[in-house]
Amino acid sequence: MTGAKRLLDDCFLHDGDRLRHDEALAILRDRVRPVAGTETVPLEEASDRVLAKGIISDRNIPGTDNSAVDGYAFCAADHAATGGFFPISARIAAGHPATAPLLPGSAARIFTGATMPEGGDTVAMQEDCETHEQDGRPFIIIPAGLKAGANRRRAGEDVAAGSPLLEAGTRLRPQELAAIASTGTSTVEVFSRLRVALVSTGDELRRPGAPLPKGGVYDSNHYLLRALLDGLGARITDVGILPDDPETVRAALARTAADHDAILTTGGASRGDEDHLVEALDAIGKRHMWQLAIKPGRPMNFGQIGDCLTFGLPGNPVAAMVCFLLYVRPVLSVMGGGSFAEPRRFQVPADFSVPQKKPGRREFYRGSLATDTQGRTVVRKFERDGSGLITSLREADGLIEIPEDTVSVVAGEAVAFLPFPELGLRAR
Ligand SMILES: Nc1nc2c(c(=O)[nH]1)N[C@H]1C(S)=C(S)[C@@H](COP(=O)(O)OP(=O)(O)OC[C@H]3O[C@@H](n4cnc5c(N)ncnc54)[C@H](O)[C@@H]3O)O[C@H]1N2
Ligand code: MOO
């Protein structure tokens, strides 16, 4: 990251002068690069990690043509001549391929996943067949009408030998781990875990478990952010709670920046007399952006101290979570070798109205999905706006995004909805 494109340091900015959401994203997208080294880990420890080296499958998956069902393998071209009456000449189970080709005009008893016999191209499901015995020999009656190749899975139909399986930069979800395992690979080269420090600030804060003085507030943001970082594969350092004291804040940030890739702070982001984060950042580092034309999350700041990136999240829990999801998550993803993924927006009819919205800023409401009387999916806005209401986050399925130039929302009109899973969270 080099020199800021645009620095804003006027705390009395009007929304029109603040950095817009798209501008903020463009700055972040532009400037952030992967910083993590790489390491080789066993597949058991690779969940949520980012692949540092692409994987090419050196084999076909499945490895052989095999049966998709329990039944009888035969050659479709033999059906007319046999009238569907086949002697059973072999038995083939998964893991025990036939050692000889199928005798012409005969069928093989076969089980799901077992390798197709040479000379057989089609499998009849056992439920559709009738067994028969003649002269002490087993026969199977296979109904007409099965297409050649029915119930047969082709070698390489999932992945062909020599084809790229996964690209570097892929975050490994359960299904990617399964795909890697299916190629027989037991270790993967992934980007090292980012070292991320969490800092809470505010004299009023205490950790759960400690007694709370009058006017005190439990540090819920620490637990919010810690859990939001799940899935990014970061190594978390808990710096604890810093008091509202400029010297202490500055010293702790300088010390922490020396051996971390990123610091996430909460609280003290705006410019009250007791808010020292921005001041500390200006004194010992560089501020790249501050004050966004969004709600909630207006005082979010972003900067760096040496090589360590800093994210100053607002103290209000809703603002902290929204800013994390919109800005911190994609940046940490890129720093850790992954992609800067834009969440997909879905147009959903609003089950609410907003008679008057302030123009010039983008607003994010907490939204939950519901079904209206005609069975359509609609989105409801949490009725209260407070940025301190953790309840609103719990009751939400995602964020409703209202663009800068919109000044009202009429019930029934389509609004952009960002489901939480698009932002890396689990569904309720
Ligand atoms: N005069 C102005 N006042 C405020 C402005 C403004 O522009 N001018 N902006 C408001 C907005 S928007 C927000 S958001 C908050 C941001 O405040 P800070 O980031 O400076 O945070 P604090 O003042 O320290 O705390 C705000 C609020 O959040 C609670 N908090 C803080 N940390 C935690 C934590 N770790 N866990 C739970 N709750 C926490 C804190 O007790 C306060 O209630 O400022 C507005 N004010
Ligand atoms: O970011 Mo603040 O939450 O708009 O209240």
How many CA atoms lie less than 13 Å away from 253 in the CB half-sphere? Answer: 34
243 & 307 share domain = yes
182 & 197 share domain = no
Instruction: Give the number of the ligand closest to the Cα of residue 297.
Output: 2
366 & 315 share domain = no
Instruction: Give the number of the ligand closest to the Cα of residue 365.
Output: 2
Q: Is 146 in the pocket of ligand 1 (CB under 6 A)?
A: no
pLDDT at 7: 33
Amino acid 228 reads L
Q: Is 312 in the pocket of ligand 1 (CB under 6 A)?
A: no
Q: Across-strand partners of 56?
A: 164
Q: Is 200 in the pocket of ligand 1 (CB under 6 A)?
A: yes
Q: Is 221 in the pocket of ligand 1 (CB under 6 A)?
A: yes
Q: Across-strand partners of 201?
A: 242
Closest-lying ligand 1 atom to the alpha carbon of residue 271: 20
Token digits for 127? 């439920």
Over the stretch 335-352, which tens digit does the pLDDT of each residue have? Answer: 999 999 899 999 999 999
Over the stretch 29-66, which tens digit does the pLDDT of each residue have? Answer: 988 999 989 999 999 999 999 999 999 999 999 999 99
**Residue 51 domain-assigned (yes or no):** yes
Ligand 1 mean position to 272 CA, how many Å?
Answer: 9
Closest-lying ligand 1 atom to the alpha carbon of residue 269: 19
pLDDT at 15: 64
**Residue 389 domain-assigned (yes or no):** yes
Largest CA distance in the chain: 100
Which CATH number goes with the domain that contains 200? 3.40.980.10
How distant, in Å, are the alpha carbons of 68, 131, 233, 384 from that of 359? 59, 76, 38, 20
Ligand 2 mean position to 295 CA, how many Å?
Answer: 6
Q: Is 250 in the pocket of ligand 1 (CB under 6 A)?
A: no
Over the stretch 11-34, which tens digit does the pLDDT of each residue have? Answer: 345 566 799 999 999 999 988 999
**Residue 340 domain-assigned (yes or no):** no
Q: Is 266 in the pocket of ligand 1 (CB under 6 A)?
A: yes
What is the pLDDT confidence band of residue 271, given thresholds at 50, 70 and 90? confident
> What interhelical angle do 277-284 and 246-258 show, nearest 10?
50
**Residue 21 domain-assigned (yes or no):** yes
Ligand 2 mean position to 306 CA, how many Å?
Answer: 28
242 & 177 share domain = no
Q: Is 337 in the pocket of ligand 1 (CB under 6 A)?
A: no
Mean pLDDT of 273-281: 85
315 & 243 share domain = yes
How far apart CA 221 and CA 226 sit, in angstroms, is 8
221 & 251 share domain = yes
Higher pLDDT, 219 or 1: 219
206 & 247 share domain = yes
Position 138 pLDDT exceeds 50: yes
Mean pLDDT of 191-206: 97
Closest C-alpha residue for ligand 2 atom 2: 296
pLDDT at 5: 31
Which CATH number goes with the domain that contains 48? 3.90.105.10
Peptide bond into 42 cis (omega under 30): no
142 & 261 share domain = no
Ligand 2 mean position to 363 CA, how many Å?
Answer: 10
Ligand 1 mean position to 273 CA, how many Å?
Answer: 12
Over the stretch 291-323, which tens digit does the pLDDT of each residue have? Answer: 899 999 999 999 999 999 999 999 999 999 999
**Residue 249 domain-assigned (yes or no):** yes
Over the stretch 376-393, which tens digit does the pLDDT of each residue have? Answer: 999 999 999 999 999 999
Q: Is 158 in the pocket of ligand 1 (CB under 6 A)?
A: no
Instruction: Give the number of the ligand closest to the Cα of residue 241.
Output: 1
Instruction: Give the number of the ligand closest to the Cα of residue 271.
Output: 1
Closest-lying ligand 1 atom to the alpha carbon of residue 295: 12
318 & 357 share domain = no
Bridging pattern class, strands 262-266 and 195-201: parallel
99 & 147 share domain = yes
Ligand 1 mean position to 321 CA, how many Å?
Answer: 13
Among the three residues 313, 335, 357, which one is the final residue of a domain in this structure?
A: 335
Among the three residues 133, 153, 173, which one is the final residue of a domain in this structure?
A: 153
**Residue 198 domain-assigned (yes or no):** yes
Domain housing 388: 346-423
Q: Is 15 in the pocket of ligand 1 (CB under 6 A)?
A: no
Q: Which of helix, strand or coil describes residue 233?
A: coil
Position 1 pLDDT exceeds 50: no
**Residue 5 domain-assigned (yes or no):** no
Which CATH number goes with the domain that contains 418? 2.40.340.10
168 & 294 share domain = no
**Residue 4 domain-assigned (yes or no):** no
How far apart CA 99 and CA 186 sit, in angstroms, is 30
pLDDT at 14: 56
254 & 204 share domain = yes
Domains of the chain: total:
4
Q: Is 389 in the pocket of ligand 1 (CB under 6 A)?
A: no
Ligand 2 mean position to 316 CA, how many Å?
Answer: 6
Among the three residues 335, 357, 389, which one is the final residue of a domain in this structure?
A: 335
Ligand 2 mean position to 207 CA, how many Å?
Answer: 23
Instruction: Give the number of the ligand closest to the Cα of residue 277.
Output: 1
Q: Which of helix, strand or coil describes residue 53?
A: coil
Which CATH number goes with the domain that contains 116? 2.170.190.11
Q: Is 217 in the pocket of ligand 1 (CB under 6 A)?
A: yes
